Amino acid sequence: MTPPDTIVKPQTTFVVVAQESLEQPYRVIIENDDVTPMDFVVMVLTGIFALDMLQAVDVMLVAHHHGEALVTILPYQEASTKIYQAHDLAGQNNYPLRLYMEPASAL
């Protein structure tokens, strides 16, 4: 009697992202640079992040004097989308404007 053929099943790896981690708030941080004009930064903060003019100027000045500033706190997907939009607009205008996000729980 011949032994049965061996069946090899490929290993499957699953990546699970917890829905609650995507809903947790994320801090959006803007970094200062020596190239991007202040008025462009204010325009990004008002146009993309919907800050009013006084808030936008305040955030821009904090970043200018301290190297970075908190822009807003948003859910993961919204923060990610707005950061992408800001980077895209800055790139179209040849500015090195950079923002990043971190979990709000990292305070």
Per the structure, the complete domain to which residue 90 belongs is given by 19-106
Run of H or E including 25 = strand 25-31
Judge whether 12 lies within some domain: no
CATH of residue 62's domain is 3.30.1390.10
Q: Which of 68, 73, 54, 74 is nearest to 99 (CA)?
A: 68
Distance CA 3, CA 42 (A): 74
Judge whether 7 lies within some domain: no
User: pLDDT (tens digit, 9 = 90+) per residue, 32-67?
Assistant: 999 999 999 999 999 999 999 999 999 999 999 999
Judge whether 3 lies within some domain: no
- What the block records as the tokens of 79 is 């923060």
pTM for the full predicted model: 0.77
Judge whether 58 lies within some domain: yes
Judge whether 80 lies within some domain: yes
Judge whether 88 lies within some domain: yes
Q: Does position 72 have pLDDT exceeding 90, yes or no?
A: yes
Judge whether 23 lies within some domain: yes
Q: Does position 77 have pLDDT exceeding 90, yes or no?
A: yes
Total domains in the chain come to 1
Judge whether 4 lies within some domain: no
Count Cα atoms within 13 angstroms, Cβ side, for 2.
3
One DSSP character per residue, 3-15 reads PPPP--PPP----
